[in-house]
Amino acid sequence: MHNSWILAGVTLGAFLLFAAGGWWVARRMKDRRQRRTTHLKVGFLVVMGVSLAAFAFWIDSQQRRTTLYEVILDGTSAKDAILQVEFNVEHANVEHDLLIGPMFRPPTLERADYEVRLAVTLAQADGTVILSDEYTFQPRTQDTSWQAEYLHFTPQTTGQHILTLNLLTPNIPAVHVRVADPLKTDGQRAPGY
């Protein structure tokens, strides 16, 4: 939960910095009504900072707990390359979330400025296909990643599952994959998240 604390601290720190600036300005005001109005705005900034920091901490720690499997796969410049991910399902008959998002690995100054296509197949160890479809990912504006796909699947069995990604366009630098299980309580995010 180290990253959750950092995220909450940075959020709160930014609001407190602005509030301190407002407090400093209010102390130098001669008009009492203006000073009181500025103090109310400073109080609002503090309350918003605490609220947003708590929300950021809660969201990040919730994602951390429910992460069943997460990895950033190295892409390739070749077309029709195949990437495979194996993970173990712990809770059958529960809807799981699957995030798939092409990206440039940080740190980078490269921007996603072209669309990419992936064919996604998710199968159980016995070969039963749960998901199979093609997806087109649009670049985010001035960002190092493409718009991610958020998919849902319900595994029928526990145990090994295989996610196969067929890179249908060339020059996909990396692919972020995250599988979330809402019943999991002790998950770990990939390094850097």
CATH of the domain at 118: 2.60.120.380
Residue 147 lies in a domain: yes
The one-letter code for the residue type at 42 is: V
Residue 186 forms part of a structural domain? no
Mean pLDDT of 57-82: 83
Residue 193 lies in a domain: no
Q: Are residues 9 and 30 in the same domain?
A: yes
Distance of alpha carbon 191 from alpha carbon 179, whole angstroms: 15
Q: What is the pTM of this model?
A: 0.73
For 99-153, how does the pLDDT look when each residue is reduced to its tens digit (9 = 90+)? 999 999 888 888 888 999 999 999 998 999 999 999 999 998 888 899 999 999 9
Question: How confident is the prediction for the chain on average, in pLDDT?
Answer: 87
Q: Are residues 58 and 12 in the same domain?
A: yes
Co-location of 166 and 87 in the same domain? yes
In a shared domain, residues 158 and 105: yes
Q: Do residues 45 and 86 both lie within one domain?
A: no
176 with 81, same domain: the answer is: yes
Q: Specify whether 44 is located in the same domain as 126.
A: no
Instruction: From 43, 64, 85, give the residue that closes a domain.
Output: 64
Domain-embedded: residue 21: yes
Q: Residue 1: its pLDDT value, please?
A: 46
Domain boundary among 41, 64, 87: 64
The answer as to whether 150 is a domain residue is yes
Overall domain count for the chain? 2
Residue 62 has pLDDT above 80, yes or no: no
Q: Are residues 88 and 16 in the same domain?
A: no
Residue at 157 is within a domain:
yes
Mark which of 64, 90, 115 sits at the end of a domain.
Answer: 64
Residues 175 and 140 in one domain: yes
Q: 58 and 16 share a domain?
A: yes
Task: Characterize the bridge pairing of strands 149-153 and 159-167.
Answer: unpaired
The beta strands (E) that lie in the chain are given as 67-76, 81-89, 96-103, 116-124, 129-137, 149-153, 159-167, 172-180
- Asked if the structure places residue 185 within a domain, the reply is no
Query: Is residue 35 domain-resident?
Result: yes
**pLDDT confidence band for 191 (50 / 70 / 90):** low
Residue 16 and residue 3: Cα distance in Å, rounded? 20
Helix (H), strand (E) counts: the chain: 2, 8
Residues 34 and 108 in one domain: no
Task: Write out the residue range of the structural domain in which residue 93 sits.
Answer: 77-180
Residues 83, 71: Cα–Cα separation, whole Å: 12
